[in-house]
Amino acid sequence: MFESLAKRNFESESGLSDLSNERVFTPEYKSAKIDLMPGDRIAFYTDGLIDKFKNKVMDQDEFVEILMEHRHDSLKNLNNSIVRLIEPNAEQLEDDITYFIMET
């Protein structure tokens, strides 16, 4: 894990971040334990998946809706449904999309 992260609020004319305006902060991490039952699913994803402004794919509510609609489907069918939503915009994505879904 990173001990500190840099927020960059400024981009130079070249499009590269100007680190002279960098503010450094240390995030707070919290640990939690949850009990999972057989068949429970956990989804991990980057913000690009649910950033409808940048990627025009889906927002967080729509992602939850997809998860709920496919809760009884196989992970393969769930993944195929997500991929079908991403594919039409794949060439125009402004932010990367990474996700994985696990089932206990």
pLDDT at 9 over 60: no
Specify if 31 maps to a domain. no
Specify if 11 maps to a domain. no
The tally of domains found in the chain comes to 1
Residue holding tokens 């991990």?
44
Q: Encode pLDDT of 35-80 as tens digits.
A: 999 999 999 999 999 999 999 999 999 999 999 999 999 999 999 9
Nearest in space to 25 (alpha carbons), one of 5, 1, 10? 5
Specify if 47 maps to a domain. yes
| pLDDT bucket at 2, cuts 50 / 70 / 90 | very low
User: What distance, in Å, lies between the first and last C-alpha atoms of the chain?
Assistant: 25
Specify if 21 maps to a domain. no
Specify if 19 maps to a domain. no
Specify if 15 maps to a domain. no
Specify if 71 maps to a domain. yes
Q: Quick check: 11 and 27 in contact, CB under 8 A?
A: no
As a whole number of angstroms, the distance between CA 81 and CA 73 comes to 10
Domain range enclosing 93: 41-103
pTM confidence score: 0.69
Specify if 25 maps to a domain. no
